[in-house]
Structure formats: structure tokens, C-alpha cells
Amino acid sequence: MRRPEDFNVAHALRTRTAAVRIAARALANDVPLFIAAAICAFFLSACGGGSGSDSQPRGDPLAPYEWHLQNTGQSAFSARGGTPGIDLRATEVFNSGETGDGVRVLVLDDGLDIRHPDLQAQIAADMLHNFDSSATNATDPTPPGDAFHGTGVGGTIGATANNGIGVRGVAPGVKLGGARYLCDQGCVSPINTLDAFGGAPFSRIADVINASFGINPIAPVEFDPDSNFLGVALQRLATLREGRGILLVKAGGNEYLADPGTEGADCSSAQAAHVSCANTNLDPGHAMPQQIVVGAVNADGVKSSYSNAGSSLLVAGLGGEFGISSTNPRIDKRITGPAIVTTDLAGCDRGASKTAGGVTYNDLNNPTSQAGQSLNANCDYMATMNGTSVATPTVAGVVALVLHANPELTWRDVRTILMKTARRIDPNRVPNTVTLPSGESYVPEPAWTRNAAGFWFDNWYGFGLVDAAAAVATARSYTAYLKGPMRAGSPLLPSGDGCQTQETPDCGTEIPVGTASGLEIPIDNTDSSISTIEAVQLTLFLGAANMRDLAIELISPGGTRSVLLNAYSELINSGSDVRNFFLGSYAFNGEPGQGTWKLRLIDVGERQSPTPAKFQGAQIQILGH
């Protein structure tokens, strides 16, 4: 079992270049594309390609290729374009003069090229740090080698507009900070995490923090938000920005199809059931509402092939697909759409776009192609950035626009605005149905569900695709400020048969195997203090649980069903006890908390000779106002 503090995020960054090359060979040899896609998706930024068929742009030369700002069906040099109108609706905001001017956005990542010609004008010198112990300058986050990920994130948020070069950011008026937090030299430690998330001078002056990274364990992680260092840091974030709270925008993960970066991960069950291999709730910090957890949507307006699903997603941003230029019929058309055009490390000797060894599936990245020579002669840009890693800065940019439109907004206000203004995309999708050993049909994860407060929610999209125009318009007229922390209702504490405490040996209620009804535990909540839910958290204790086969669901008094953990996930079937398994759901937002809740545990019984697990206890915490 791995805890957040044990996860070596730098491993992903250290091996990303090799993975891109592996994926290139896979594509060249017609390896099944979901394998190549999974390789690319895990490594945060990913593969791409391009036809270079778009017309010559004007102004900032690459802005017309930024379909996430305005989607006209352009290909961004990939094999095909997307669907016009699937964008952030940013042009309406730009036309009104809104650029996020002066809002301070910190990029926590593998670094930020602060001398990049399209970023240097936006850099805030007092919001820079390098956690790498081998760095010669602790205030310069510029990464060594080919670590281009954070620079791509930074450009997506705040590349300079109307300067006659390159791209423009979603919020091109922001002040950008950067911290090299992901590295090979032990950057990710408890003390560094506390500093990165508002505990040091460079981070506590941010208005928005972008965190395009995370963990993806294959066993449940024990997590107590009041004692874990990350939990403590996240709760402190809500007290900063003069009490209004720093907005932390967080990537939901890229392992829907497969997880090649985690030893022992097995996604075959998820692929067969057509559900997410990973789940956003496997990263326990995602259950804390001080983070805005983001999924990814492609240029066709559907979930990006790699984007993790989960009830802890709040909204989706635009992450695109792989930008692959090939028209080989064996390549799944779903993933050949455009990736995101953004900043790369400056120069032709490093990064994704360079003279030798770069990510050349896309003509913009290739210095020898016509598009590369005419539009990217200095190799300062790329058209191959994808993942929830880049969907997250599209949302962070919108948050910056919203905060400039109304600086008095609290972190809770911004969450509310994003939730209420998000666009419901892919409205006709049908969830998959499986047949259980009992012969019953079971839907492992519902599609769009309208909750009892009238809000639509989907584990693929949260409340939908962010809408910059609607969010900014709402922010300008917003007055119902939600100040301070969310109110916590009385905790609901159901327990299993014979379980006097959480550590009682051999106690618990057996969870039936292979039935659609599973074990349902009704829980009466007579506390009327929460009239409007903003988040629900569940901490679970189980005995001898086989987690890959287990689904964890909550049903509200209003009848809203939320799947907090889908069965068929990559979690291993170990038969081990589970303690302090911490999950969250935003599917109930806007509903009242009072009434009878139902906790439902379903064991799909896919394993050989299944024996029942035992429910031993739970705590349900309803947060809101």
C-alpha cells in the first residue's frame, strides 16, 4: 500500500521521454492503439501529430490553432478537426476586455521556463521556487533537460497575448509563478508539500494554484484529512488570500484505459466492463473540496479517451486527444483528434519540439516540416500537449478570469459558479450494463443524473465543461458570498454486526457476492443544519475486502445515486482489511442533507471462488451551508 507521501511523482517525469519513444514505435508498428494511448496518457503530456492543413493565421500566429479557445473545427495539425463550438467560450470574454489582469497563478510542476519569449512578460519574480536540491538557484524553476510539462501548463494558462509570437493563454493578463516541485531529487516530501501548498512566501501569495499531477495507487490509501500533511495543507489553503481562500485546481488523472506506469496494475476487467480502470477517488486528496478536480474533454465534446472518471470530479476542462497525424484505418478515430497547442521549452535543443529526439508526430513539433519552419522555427511551441494535465490549466485560466471579474469571491463561491455555469455536453451517452453471476443486470456507473436539487452530474464530467463566458458573467453579478469553511453536519456512523469499535476483530456484516442489490445500509440523518450540500465525504472500514470487485455507492434522501468507487477498477483483489478509505462525491451538491441515506456495497464476484467481504463501519460527513 502506498501513501501520498511515498509516491515518487518524479518517476513519471523521468521516464516520459522513453515512453513517448515506445509509443512512437507502437504506432509505427500498428500495435493496438489503446496500448500506445495508455503509454502516452500516463505520462501527463502525450503523443500527437498533424497534417498542417490549417490556413496561415494572423496576430499571435498560433492563436487560430488553439481550438480550446475557439473551436472552428481546426485540426491543430492533427489528422482531423473537432466539432465547432466545443471550446471554453473564451472569445466572448476576451472581446469584453477580460484577461485576468494581475491575478496571481502558481504552477506547481516539473518547472517553468521563465525566460520563454511568450511567458517572460507574465512572470512574477516573488512567486518562483525550485525544490530540486541539485539546482544552483532556488528561485529559478526553469527545468533541466526535456522537462517541458510545466512550461506547457504555464503557457496554456497565461501565455502573453497580442505580442506577435506564438500562442495566447486562457487568461493572458495573469502574473505567472512557478515551482519545480516534481523532480528526481526528492522534491515531493511532506515539508515541501506544505510549502508548495501555501506554506511558504512564494506560494501563499498566489490566488490560484495549478497542480497537474497526482497518485494512482492499486490498493486503498489510508487517509485522515485532519492528520495527513496534505489534508492539513489543503485546509489551510482555504484560509489564505485574506480569508477568501486560494483556489487549487487539480488534475483528475489519465488512466481510464490503462495504467502502464503502476507496477501490478490490471485494467482488463475495466476494459471488458467499459468503465474507468482508475477512479479519481483513488487519490484521497480529491475528496477534499479545497481542490477543484478536473476531467478532460476532447475537441468533439466527449470525454478524452484517457480521462479518469469519478464522483470527486467537479468540472471538466479541454485536454484533447493525441493529435496523431496518421490516417491508418487501424488507429481508433476517437483518439486522432487534436491535442492542445501551447508553449514548449524555448529552443531547438530541448523539450517536445527540438531538432533531434522530439515528439514529432505533429508537424508543428517537427523543425523540418513546412509548418515547423514557418510557424515554429525556434522550436518554442508544441501541438502535442494533452491529458487532464492540460485540461486543468484551462480551468485554472477560467478561474483567473472569474477572480479578476470579482476579486471578492471566496474559494467556495468559485466552486459554486463553476458548478452552476458548466455546460452539459455529450447529453445522450448511455451507460454500460453488465450481467452479474446472479444473472441480474447492473449498471456499474450511471451517466448524466439530475439530482434532487436540479443539477446534472456525471462521473465522466462532474457538472460539465467549464464555460468562461457564463462563469465570468455570473461572477460579475454574484453577491451570495460563502465565507469561511464549509459547515460540517453531525457525522453519520453506521457499523457492521458486532463491531463495537473500528478495530474489533472478525466483526462485520457480510457483503453478498454477485448480486445487484448487494448490502444496503440505511442511515438516518436527523441533523437539519445542512440545507445545501457542497460536498459529501465517506470513510470506510472493511474486512477481507477484494477491492477490484467492489462498488461503493451512496444514495441521498432525494434518491440521487452516486458511485464513489466503480467495480472492475485496477485495485487489487487482495482479501485484505481496509482502514480509513476516504472518498468523496459532489453529485449531491445543492440537495438538503436531512433524511435517510443509503450506503450500498456491491461485490460483482468476478474473482474465482469468491468469499464475502465484511462491512465493519463507516463515517459519512456532509459539508455545506
Domain extent listing, the chain: 4-413, 419-476, 487-624
Grid cell listed for 244: 477568501
Instruction: Give residue for cell 466552486.
Output: 415
Judged against a pLDDT cut of 90, whether residue 184 lies above it is answered with no
* Backbone phi and psi for residue 34, each to the nearest 5 degrees, phi listed first: -65, -25
What is the structure's pLDDT at 350? 97
What is the structure's pLDDT at 506? 85
CA proximity to 621, closest of 492, 485, 486: 492
Q: Can you tell me the distance from the alpha carbon of 467 to that of 448, in angstroms, rounded to the nearest whole number?
A: 18
349/56: higher pLDDT: 349
**Distance from first CA to last CA of the chain, Å, rounded?**
36
**Percent of the chain that is helix, strand, coil (3-state, to 5):** 25, 20, 55
Averaged pLDDT, 53-58: 36
pLDDT digits (tens, 9 = 90+) for 579-620: 999 999 999 999 999 999 999 999 999 999 999 999 999 999
Which CATH number fits the domain 487-624, given the four candidates 2.60.120.260, 2.60.450.10, 3.30.70.20, 3.40.640.10?
A: 2.60.120.260
Instruction: Give residue for cell 464522483.
Output: 311
Q: Are strands 175-180 and 123-130 parallel, antiparallel or unpaired?
A: parallel
Judged against a pLDDT cut of 60, whether residue 539 lies above it is answered with yes
Averaged pLDDT, 144-151: 97
* Backbone phi and psi for residue 415, each to the nearest 5 degrees, phi listed first: -55, -45
CA angle 309, 176, 207 (to 5 degrees): 65
28 burial via Cβ count (<10 Å: 0-12, 13-18, 19+) = exposed
Which pairs count as long-range contacts for 135-138, CB under 8 Å and 24+ apart, including other chains?
Answer: 135/180
CB atoms under 10 Å from CB of 477, counted, come to 8
Task: Write out the H or E segment, with its range, that includes residue 153.
Answer: helix 149-158
Q: Mention every residue, 6+ apart, whose C-beta is less than 8 A from residue 395.
A: 249, 292, 294, 315, 317, 418, 466
344/41: higher pLDDT: 344
Q: What is the mean pLDDT of the chain?
A: 90
Q: Can you tell me the distance from the alpha carbon of 286 to that of 268, in angstroms, rounded to the nearest whole number?
A: 25
Q: Can you tell me the distance from the alpha carbon of 363 to that of 554, in angstroms, rounded to the nearest whole number?
A: 48
- How long, in residues, is the chain? 625
Q: Can you tell me the distance from the alpha carbon of 452 to that of 140, in angstroms, rounded to the nearest whole number?
A: 50
Grid cell listed for 12: 513519471
What is the structure's pLDDT at 502? 65
Averaged pLDDT, 6-24: 34
Q: Can you tell me the distance from the alpha carbon of 625 to that of 611, in angstroms, rounded to the nearest whole number?
A: 42
pTM: 0.91
106 forms beta bridges with 177, 209
Averaged pLDDT, 324-333: 72
- In a 3-state reduction of DSSP, which class is residue 205? coil
Q: Can you tell me the distance from the alpha carbon of 479 to that of 184, in angstroms, rounded to the nearest whole number?
A: 46
pLDDT band for position 18 (cuts 50, 70, 90):
very low
- 314 touches 295 (CB < 8 A): no
Task: Write out the H or E segment, with its range, that includes residue 234.
Answer: helix 229-237
Domains 4-413 and 487-624 share a fold: no
Share of the chain above pLDDT 90, in %: 85
DSSP-derived letter for residue 582 is E
pLDDT band for position 558 (cuts 50, 70, 90):
very high
Q: Are strands 561-565 and 550-555 parallel, antiparallel or unpaired?
A: antiparallel
pLDDT band for position 43 (cuts 50, 70, 90):
very low
Averaged pLDDT, 321-334: 76
Q: Can you tell me the distance from the alpha carbon of 410 to that of 137, in angstroms, rounded to the nearest whole number?
A: 34
Averaged pLDDT, 51-80: 79
40/242: higher pLDDT: 242
pLDDT band for position 51 (cuts 50, 70, 90):
very low
Query: H-type helices in 423-575, by residue range?
Result: 468-476
Averaged pLDDT, 349-373: 93
What is the structure's pLDDT at 327? 66
CB atoms under 10 Å from CB of 3, counted, come to 14
Following DSSP, what letter does each residue of 236-290 receive, concatenated?
HHTTTTTTT-PEEEEE--S-SS--TTSTT---HHHHHHTS-SSBGGGSGGGGSTT
What homologous superfamily does CATH list for 4-413? Peptidase S8/S53 domain (3.40.50.200)
CA proximity to 460, closest of 449, 444, 447, 450: 447
Q: Can you tell me the distance from the alpha carbon of 515 to that of 496, in angstroms, rounded to the nearest whole number?
A: 19
Judged against a pLDDT cut of 60, whether residue 19 lies above it is answered with no
Grid cell listed for 334: 476517437
